[in-house]
Structure 1
Amino acid sequence: MRALSELVFHNTYSELPSDFGTRVTPQPLSDPCLVSVNPQVCALLELDPAEAQTDYFVDLFTGNDELAGFDPIAMKYTGHQFGQYNPALGDGRGLLMGEVLTSQGKKWDIHLKGSGMTPYSRQGDGRAVLRSSIREYLASAAMHGLGIRTTHALAVLSSATPVYREKVERGATLIRVAESHLRFGHFEYLFYTEKHGELKLLADYLIQHHFPDLLTAEHMPAPAQPDRYAAMFHRIVSLTAEMIADWQSVGFAHGVMNTDNMSVLGLTFDYGPYSFLDDYQPGFICNHSDYSGRYAFNQQPSIALWNLSALGYALSPLIEKELIDEALNTYQPQLQQHYSIQMRNKLGLQEQLPQDSQLFSDMFTLLANQAADYTLFFRTLSEIPHDEIAQSANRFESFFGCTQALSAWLAQYADRLEAEPRDDTQRLAAMKAANPKFILRNYLAQQAIDAAEQGDFTMIERLMSVLAAPFEEHPDDAHLADVPPQWGKELEISCSS
């Protein structure tokens, strides 16, 4: 483990031409303090977690001190927001501080969120509030614990700086860590401003640093395609399809799937008004500002394809249209295949039988009609031996409407398990490894925020503990997996969060 002063930097993005961003100095926050640090992310950076407890760490990431290796830059990009192209986007409250190079040659972006105004702030103050910083900090830990590709958050820092939203809130900084912060919108910016030379340069940069295997012919998509840019787009399509399938399988709704919030590495990016499903509602809208339901839970697969099409159009100076279409046509099959694997794992099914489609269809209809708790349904199912399943409807009563309808499906499911080769012990263990006991419910995040705003960070630490290992039992915190109170299901979250 290293001290901050011992980190090795290789700032490749800031070496790109000035069209790619603007150098900006972070604006200090007053009277800053550490809220929480994630030791798992410290390990990624090979950073000693004890460093986070120092005044230097706090001052460094709140704009009150400097580190020689940092080269802060606000990245320029554009994108489609709710379907409309917006040319005025970019890092409006964030800065790419530098890129840490580990002893294994792994490169990690260190990015500040809430570091003050930049040329892309669009009349904003460039600040983040404690509330939204905690939400992203917890969400990135939750997704990583679930095994879903995501950006990470090293730490949350608070301050006495007032920030004005719907009310006066505490200014904060989130330290985000990611393999890359390149977005679909980076390529859209260069395409719509007709900077085609820079577009090619950025594509080459992405391939060199993140898809180097595509530089060799044997890794081209089948049939063998010598065009590395087409291969790059194929890779982005595949990574995006897998990410969306993972979202749908765990009941995660992002809320703002604008193209500027889409990672070219298939990382879950820019957590704002997100939510994990409580009651199963296919058309669930987590963003209070999404009046049309464009980004509803069941729309996420199609919106991701729309976004990929927008990216493909932006790459058209580099890739022939037929090859763009060919890559886009692989999205739906890859999404369905990955989602099918995830859902079969959740039900403990190894064999593929013709009746399985009906089993799944009936299950989703039942969950929707009864407004059943999505996570608790699968976790409870993971705890019931085969010979008890058909008569186990009473075990679902706390979060199910009509258990009579459930009984019929449980009998159907019990019959289906007769065709499975695994014994109960193996099946139940596999199901528990696929169905989390804990998710980051909105009301839990809100309780952590409310306490943190009063200076109490213990709820954050308790949540971080269970979210890091959401498939384990955690008997001392088992109540964090309970059915949420009604008020907890009705919280309104907007983009301003």
Structure 2
Amino acid sequence: MNTENIHQPFIKKFPGDFSGNTMQRNTPKVLFSTVKPAGFDHPKLIAFNEKLSEEIGLGQFEEKDLSFLVGNNLPEDMKTYSTTYAGHQFGNWAGQLGDGRAILAGEITNEAGQKNEIQWKGAGATPYSRHADGRAVLRSSLREYLMSEAMHNLNISTTRALSLAFTGEDVVRDIMYNGNPQNEKGAVVIRTAESFLRFGHFELMSAQQEYTTLKELADFTIENYFKEIQAEGQQKYKDFFENICRRTADLMVEWYRVGFVHGVMNTDNMSVLGLTIDYGPYSMMDEYNLNFTPNTTDLPGRRYAFGKQAQVSQWNLWQLANALHPLIKDEKFLEDVLNDYGSYFWESHDKMLCKKFGFDQLLDNDEKFFTNWQSLMQDLQMDYTLFFNELEKYDEQKDLRQQFENVSYTFLSEEKISRLSDFIREYKSRLEKNGISREESLEIMHKTNPKFILRNYLLYQCIEEINEGKTDMLHKLLHALENPYHTIYPEFSAKRPSGYDDVSGCSMLSCSS
């Protein structure tokens, strides 16, 4: 790996704390603090993303590179740092937050001129750890490594994962916050992104009335990551906000397309670039349920439930609008953009659903069709992914129960079969309004509906096996997630076994990591 070309434009541009002090504390009027990774004596590599390493300009892995992957023996001139930001958590202002267990090495540029930031997660405490240890466990690190790569291969904007390694030390965690802490194997993941800038970075500067730094941060972000914006003055910041809104709405549509539930959509977990970021208590949808949340911390309110993600993203954008107001200074503009957000999202969402069903265009009566479908899915407890897979294979010559019984998480009574039959007739009638052939319709469905999703019970199994020193399932999952629109391993393209219904880490997760 070539780490010599990693540079640090961010810390050269903005006010920061260069003390290297990891003591948890407030750091007013700065955007970062220098901090060194903790260092680990007995690391062991679990996985390395060779394709990504080549793509971003780091090159091939050599044994000596393991030290860098866990933050050991870094070049003396490399100033590693963590950024500070604020945020609204579960709807409440949380004040100063920051990279509590993330440490940035800097930025690397590949031969094509594309930039990517390199960041360790789980490499030790920072000033923003809030009395935590800055470590991470295998459980959460593997989940982030695999899921971020799964999302990338599903063609969804996301951070990426470069490497995963054991630290060689144990970390104590209370997984369900029930007073039962246990030792778990520590791990470090390196993740990459064009930028890790969040809504919360702008919220902090605005809340502290550091308007000069707020403007400099916005200018830096636009210049480096929004090159399509050519306007000057106030209009530049208007275009900036509109662009963030559009990217965020597009991301929400993609989450709904594949059934991804983030679980903790605080404003500090929202990327201004429209990336999926911070893989904590997430889940891919098994049975379709608009009220599903995978996060135990989100109960009983279910603020971040599957069906509320678009609404929450709009609420988060209101908070960003408040933060950017000192630059935009136009309340009506901000209100209009935010009010238009819903219209843009729903039109994009319904066009996405058209593709899932193989429709070539959105018709006036499709909203009623989609509403009927949602009701059917919830009442019959249909698996979101498998339902569309079966719809692609539907054969009217075969028994309806036989085709769909392995897609439902409940017994399909005669009444439910009758209801499913009515829907299939409605679907066939809608297909007749297509202006394309059935073959073309199926091609749209094949490209839109994944055959493999990274379900929580599969991750649970993989974590258990790696803890036992086995890696066969890890390699199979990596192969499958690289080809999500094909059935590589039929056993992975099946609904969640009932034995995992109430297993912690499968149906529900906590924020513990």
Q: Normalised by the shorter chain, which TM-score bucket?
A: over 0.9
| Cα-to-partner distance string for 1:72-123 (whole Å, 9 max, x where unaligned) | 1110111111111112311111111110011111110001000101111111
Relative to 1, partners in 2 of residues 1:201 and 1:326: Cα closer, same or farther, differing over 3 Å?
same
Q: Paired residue for 1:312, among 313, 317, 321?
A: 321
How far did 1:184 drift?
0.4
Question: Residue 374 of structure 1 aligns with which residue?
Answer: 384
How many residues are treated as equivalent by the alignment?
480
* Corresponding residue for residue 221 of structure 1: none
Change (3 A) 1:71 1:330: farther
CA distance in structure 2 between the aligned counterparts of 1:242 and 1:192, rounded to whole angstroms: 28
Equivalent residue for 2:494? 482
Aligned to 2:347: 337
1:96-115 matched pairs, under 5 angstroms: 96-115=104-123
Supply the AA of the counterpart residue of 1:9. Answer: I
Show structure 2 runs of 5+ residues with no match.
Answer: 17-29, 175-181
Look up the match of 2:9. Answer: 12
What corresponds to 1:222 in structure 2? Answer: none
Q: Residues 85 and 449 of structure 1: is their aligned pair in 2 closer, same or farther, counting only changes over 3 Å?
A: same
- Aligned residues of 1:285 and 1:297 also touching (Cα < 8 A): yes
Match of 2:484 among 470, 474, 480: 470
Q: Residue 171 of structure 1: which of 167, 186, 203 is its match? A: 186
Q: What residue is the counterpart of 1:427 in the other structure?
A: 441
Q: Residue 392 of structure 1: CA displacement?
A: 4.2
Instruction: Tell me, in whole angstroms, the C-alpha distance in 2 between the residues paired with 1:297 and 1:202.
Output: 32
Q: Structure 2 CA distance, aligned partners of 1:172 and 1:111?
A: 14
Alignment partner, residue 510 of structure 2: 494
Shift of 1:38: 2.0
Deviation, 1:488, is: 2.7
Q: String of CA shifts for 1:278-302, please: whole Å, max 9, x gaps.
A: 0111100110111221111111111
Partner of 2:126, secondary structure, is coil
Cα separation, 1, equivalents of 2:400 and 2:50:
41
Report the identity percentage: 38
Counterpart AA for 2:140: S
Aligned residue type for 1:11: Q
Amino acid at match of 2:512: S
Secondary structure, aligned partner of 2:461: helix
Taking the TM superposition and a 5 Å limit, the aligned residue runs for 1:388-403 are: 388=396, 392-400=400-408, 401=412, 402-403=416-417
Task: Indicate the larger mover: 55-64 or 434-443.
Answer: 55-64
Match of 1:40 among 39, 47, 51: 51
Contact 1:278/1:489 (8 A) holds in 2: no
Render the CA deviation track for 1:246-283: whole Å, top value 9, x for unaligned: 11221111000000000000100100000011011110
Which residue is 1:287 aligned to?
295
Equivalences for residues 39-438 of structure 1 within 5 A: 39-49=50-60, 51=61, 54-67=62-75, 70-166=78-174, 167-216=182-231, 227-291=235-299, 292-320=301-329, 321-384=331-394, 388=396, 392-400=400-408, 401=412, 402-438=416-452
Instruction: Give the deviation of 1:391 after TM superposition.
Output: 6.2
Q: In structure 1, how many angstroms separate the alpha carbons of the residues matched to 2:328 and 2:32?
A: 25
Corresponding residue for residue 27 of structure 2: none
- Letter aligned with residue 17 of structure 1: P
Query: Over aligned residues, Cα RMSD in angstroms?
Result: 1.7
| TM-score of the aligned structures, taking structure 2 as reference length | 0.90
CA–CA separation in structure 1 for the residues paired with 2:459 and 2:81: 31
Q: Return the offset for 1:42.
A: 1.7
- Contact 2:100/2:128 (<8 A) preserved: yes
User: What whole-Å deviation, never above 9, does each CA across 1:229-251 have from its counterpart, x for those lacking one?
Assistant: 11100000000011111112211
User: Hey, what's the Cα distance between the residues in 1 that align with 2:379 and 2:269?
Assistant: 32
User: Does the CA-based 8 Å contact 2:101-2:126 persist in structure 1?
Assistant: yes
Q: Which deviations, in whole Å up to 9, do the C-alpha atoms of 1:332-376 show, x marking residues without a partner?
A: 122112211211000000133333222211111000001110100
1:156-178 deviations in Å (ceiling 9; x for gaps): 11122111102111111110100
8 Å Cα contact 2:71-2:120 kept in structure 1:
no
In structure 2, the residue corresponding to 1:330 is in which secondary structure?
helix
In the alignment, the residues of structure 2 paired with residue 345 and residue 260 of structure 1 have an alpha-carbon distance, to the nearest angstrom, of: 32
Contact map agreement 1:69 1:98 (CA 8 A) in 2: no
Structure 1 residues 421 and 59, CA gap change in structure 2 (3 angstroms): same
Return the alpha-carbon distance in structure 2 between the equivalents of residues 323 and 95 of structure 1: 37
Which residue in 1 is equivalent to 2:23? none
Distance 1:67 1:483 in 2: 48
Given that residues 79 and 189 in structure 1 are in contact (C-alpha distance below 8 angstroms), is that contact kept between their aligned partners in structure 2? Answer: yes
C-alpha distance in structure 2 between counterparts of 1:389 and 1:446, whole Å: 38
1:393 Cα shift? 4.8
- In structure 1, distance between residues paired with 2:277 and 2:499: 27
Instruction: Mark the CA change 1:193 to 1:369 in structure 2 (over 3 Å): closer, same or farther.
Output: same
Residues 353 and 68 of structure 1: is their aligned pair in 2 closer, same or farther, counting only changes over 3 Å?
same
Q: Distance in 1 between matches of 2:228 and 2:59?
A: 32
- Tell me the CA shift for residue 324 of structure 1: 1.6
Partner secondary structure for residue 329 of structure 1:
helix
Q: Distance in 2 between matches of 1:281 and 1:181?
A: 31
Alignment check: 8 A CA contact 2:151 2:158 kept: yes
C-alpha displacement of 1:226: 5.8
Instruction: State the distance in 2 between where 1:368 and 1:202 align.
Output: 44
In 2, Cα distance between equivalents of 1:127 and 1:229: 37
CA distance in 2, matches of 1:360, 1:209: 40
Amino acid in structure 2 at the alignment position of 1:324: L
Deviation at 1:439, TM superposition (A): 0.4
User: What's the CA shift string for 1:371-428, capped at 9, x where partnerless?
Assistant: 110100011112236xx38964531111233322111100111111112232222221
Equivalent position SS for 2:378: helix
Alpha-carbon offset, residue 216 of structure 1: 4.1
The one-letter code matched in structure 2 to 1:358 is K
| Secondary structure of 2:93's aligned partner | strand
Preserved contact between residue 280 and residue 371 of structure 1 (Cα < 8 Å) = yes
Amino acid in structure 2 at the alignment position of 1:136? E
Cα deviation, residue 136, structure 1 = 0.5
